[in-house]
Amino acid sequence: MHQYDAVVIGAGNAGLTAATALQRGGSKTLLLEKHNIPGGCATSFVRGEFEFEVALHQLSGLGTAEKPFIMRKVFDTLGVLDKVEFIQEHSLYRLAVPGQVDITLPASWSGLKRTLVELFPAESDAIGRFLKLCETICLESFMTLPQARRSGSEATLKSMCPHYVEYGFQSAKAVIDSFFSDHTLKTVISAYWCYLGVPPSQIPFPDLAVMIYAYAAFKPWHIKGGSQAMSNALVESFLEAGGEVRFNCGAEKILTENGAVCGVTLESGETVRCKAVVSNASPLHTFNEMLDSEQPPLAIQQDMKSRRMGTSAVVIYMGLDCTPQELGVTTASSFIYETMDDEAIYRSMNSLEAPMGGMFTCYNFEDPDCAPAGKSQVVLVCLQYGDVWKDVAAEDYAATKYAFAERLIDMVAKVYPKLREHIEEVEVATPLTMMRYLNTPSGAIYGFRQSTEDSALLRERLKGVPGLYMAGSWTGMGGFQPTYMAGESTARAVLKHLKKAGEVQHV
């Protein structure tokens, strides 16, 4: 019987970073992945001449070599900073609502302020104060909040993170409304809500503030070769450090003795012993199906009752027989709406009717190598909740999928009218596709619904079984930076646990 310090279940972003950090930290680690390649959402697939990026639109938190931010330190610690090449995007996004607004914001903190003031001069003072608040909230979030929370002292939290405490329980809409009166400005400044899956009325303001500052001050990035290149680099670093990975190998059961983790039974029937397990699977699957107890611990049951499932998506992957310039693309990332009513867009996410908002990404606008010469790789995304798709009869699924895809293309074509005539390759994914490939409830791509009730000030790390740790979007914010960071921070907690138990001598 094999013996490990830790077993990591799932090679998504958080699983990969957790496994790599554990192994490099001195823990003998086994990484399990049901698929035949690493990455989860951070992967790619090939159709014809095109290799399509599955999920990464913009990577935040990296910063430049001259002005690095937190992700450069994380990737350096994981041993992958020199294994991948990063491509900078020079705009945050284009927001287009046909007939109403068409604005592109630069990926520059000073440029963002200058552009907004030029477009909305009557709000110039409020714009300056709002952006300063976003900067302060972001710096508190990364620099002082973790330490303040570890102290367990309310007085310390208020002293070290006064702005986060003041605004942490307020919605993005409430704060934005308190600063601005111009509805168009409100819509423009809050467009990143489409990366989170709930409208500004439900997003904790710090979540949006961090995104605005991190993307504008430290730039949005992509990865040369797509997110699959980062997934491969993490596996390479993990193996170089002596880790063991098994693909096409899922975990069947997480085993316990005297209430604590003691091992994992694999789908093959083999049992491996360990002192800690990191699960990159959903907590619902982990605690309800994989854990060997009859039911989850009471604390976990109570936590689950207060959760709501996050969004999934309909995604159209397109290979086009024209260049970005011939298509009329002026920036890599666009948000395209039918209306400036965020709530109406959100309601449409629970319907199979025509979508009212979506995202358009052209990957080879900034990196020509993302598509064959003279062609383009684009992706259309419309966030959708999975439950409405689960009600579609099997015999109606294909027709429903392609009818919805046609309506999404119709919406995007109002901004990029040449889109249809240049389609060479196309693949459509729905929430049911996400359920099948990601093995997540309702095909959720961001974990649980991220609302003010799930503020970082309220939620603790999911605990209940000594030695069992959760990592990924289910433990906090969804997206690439948050899940990479979740895996790395989870590894630190596991190493502390193992060191205390005397299982790892050098951490």
Could you state, in order of their start, the residue ranges of all structural domains in the chain? 6-56+226-307+450-500, 107-221, 311-442
Categorize the per-residue pLDDT at 315 as very low, low, confident or very high, splitting at 50, 70 and 90: very high
CATH class in words for 107-221: mainly alpha
3-state secondary structure 10-58: CCCHHHHHHHHHHHHCCCCEEEECCCCCCCCCCCEEEECCEEEECCCCC
Interval 375-416: pLDDT, tens = 999 999 999 999 999 989 999 999 999 999 999 999 999 999
The CA-atom distances, in angstroms, between 456 and each of 56, 204, 351, 389 are: 24, 9, 30, 30
Look at residue 506 in the predicted model and tell me its pLDDT: 42
> Which of 502, 403, 490 lies closest to 14, judged by CA?
490
pLDDT at 253: 97
User: What is the model's pLDDT at position 146?
Assistant: 82
Q: Which of 28-37, 152-161, 341-350 has the lowest mean pLDDT?
A: 152-161
- Residue pLDDT, tens place only, 140-153: 988 898 888 888 88
pLDDT at 244: 98
Task: Find, among 464, 467, 462, 461, the residue nearest to 255 by Cα.
Answer: 467
Q: Please give the structure tokens belonging to residue 308.
A: 């709501």
- Rounded to 5°, the CA angle 76-80-83 comes to 130
Instruction: Determine the pLDDT at residue 453.
Output: 66
342, 324 in Cβ contact below 8 A? no
Q: What is the pLDDT of residue 478?
A: 83
State mean pLDDT over 69-93: 96
Helices (H), 86-182: 109-119, 124-139, 145-151, 154-160, 162-167, 172-179
Who wins on pLDDT, 294 or 447? 447
Angle, vertex CA 221, rays to CA 9 and CA 176, nearest 5: 95
Three-state DSSP state, 95: strand
pLDDT at 457: 60
Q: Give me the pLDDT at residue 274, please.
A: 97
Amino acid at 249: C
CATH code: domain 311-442 is 3.90.660
Mean pLDDT of 481-486: 93
Give percent of the chain with pLDDT exceeding 70. 97
Q: How far apart are CA 337 and CA 322, in angstroms?
A: 24
CATH class of 6-56+226-307+450-500: alpha beta
Q: Does the predicted model carry a pTM greater than 0.85? A: yes
- Banded pLDDT at 168 (limits 50, 70, 90): confident
Task: Report the chain's mean pLDDT, rounded to a whole number.
Answer: 93
Q: Are 205 and 171 in contact (CB under 8 A)?
A: yes
Model pLDDT, residue 505: 43
pLDDT over 80 at 248, yes or no: yes
User: What's residue 503's pLDDT?
Assistant: 54
The pLDDT-based confidence of 197 (bands split at 50, 70, 90) is confident
* Greater model confidence, 20 or 507: 20
pLDDT band at 507 (very low <50, low <70, confident <90, very high): very low
Give the model's confidence band at 461: pLDDT under 50 very low, under 70 low, under 90 confident, else very high: low
